[in-house]
């Protein structure tokens, strides 16, 4: 497993992208290998997630920016498999965010919370078949949804019809106000 990750890292460092472009520039100026520069950057990020101010923001950016970018690329591709992969990530990310909202007041005080959250989010987006998104979705989210799907459907339908009624009534009232205002002029 570690050998596979090291191979992926080597392949990533050979690719041409914004990260490797920066690493090449820094390597040329300092003489320090790209792999060591990347390891150092990851170590600094890890320490910052443990001790730094704004670790929550950094962790949320890590869990959002790359997946959002890759999701847009997936939408634009003709491959359906990558769409499913990233939709699964976003469902798990959403469920995790809701759970975190209610438990954050307690979890915030744990010293390694943000690094654990970041590791969890990285696991959820990992390019392996057993990534966190697949595991959490198949073991928790999907069974819960399938068990309660009819309830969810009726709530969504009820809310949709109520929202439609509110929108229609608001439109009618706005039309009355506008027409009433035009007649008075």
Determine the Cα angle at 14 with ends 90 and 89, to 5°.
Answer: 5
**H helix intervals, the chain:** 2-14, 18-30, 34-51, 55-76, 80-107, 113-125, 132-136, 142-183
Is residue 185 scored above 70 in pLDDT?
no
pLDDT at residue number 2: 66
CA dist., res. 175 & res. 129, Å (int): 55
pLDDT mean over 72-94 = 93
pLDDT at residue number 173: 86
The residue with tokens 């009433």 is 180
Burial readout 132-161 (b: 16 or more C-beta within 10 A, e: otherwise): bbbebbeeebeeeeeeeeeeeeeeeeeeee
pLDDT mean over 135-156 = 95
pLDDT mean over 157-181 = 86
Q: Which two tokens stand for residue 134?
A: 């697949």
pLDDT at residue number 90: 97
Dump pLDDT digits (tens) for 106-142. Answer: 877 787 888 889 899 999 998 888 899 999 999 999 9
Dump pLDDT digits (tens) for 18-67. Answer: 778 888 888 899 999 888 888 888 788 777 777 777 788 888 888 999 89
């Amino acid at each position: 497993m570690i050998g596979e990750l090291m191979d992926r890292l080597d392949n990533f460092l050979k690719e041409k992208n914004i990260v490797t472009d920066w690493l090449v520039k820094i390597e040329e100026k300092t003489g320090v290998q790209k792999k060591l520069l990347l390891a150092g950057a990851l170590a600094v990020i890890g320490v910052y997630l443990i001790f730094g101010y704004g670790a929550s923001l950094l962790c949320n950016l890590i869990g959002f920016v790359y997946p959002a970018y890759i999701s847009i690329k997936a939408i634009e591709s003709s491959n359906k498999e990558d769409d499913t992969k990233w939709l699964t990530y976003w469902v798990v990310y959403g469920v995790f965010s809701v759970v975190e909202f209610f438990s954050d007041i307690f979890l915030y005080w744990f010293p390694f919370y943000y690094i654990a959250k970041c590791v969890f989010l990285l696991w959820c987006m990992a390019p392996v078949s057993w990534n966190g998104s697949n595991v959490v979705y198949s073991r928790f989210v999907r069974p819960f949804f399938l068990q309660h799907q009819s309830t969810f459907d009726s709530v969504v339908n009820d809310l949709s019809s109520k929202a439609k009624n509110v929108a229609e009534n608001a439109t009618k009232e706005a039309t009355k106000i506008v027409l009433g205002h035009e007649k008075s002029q």
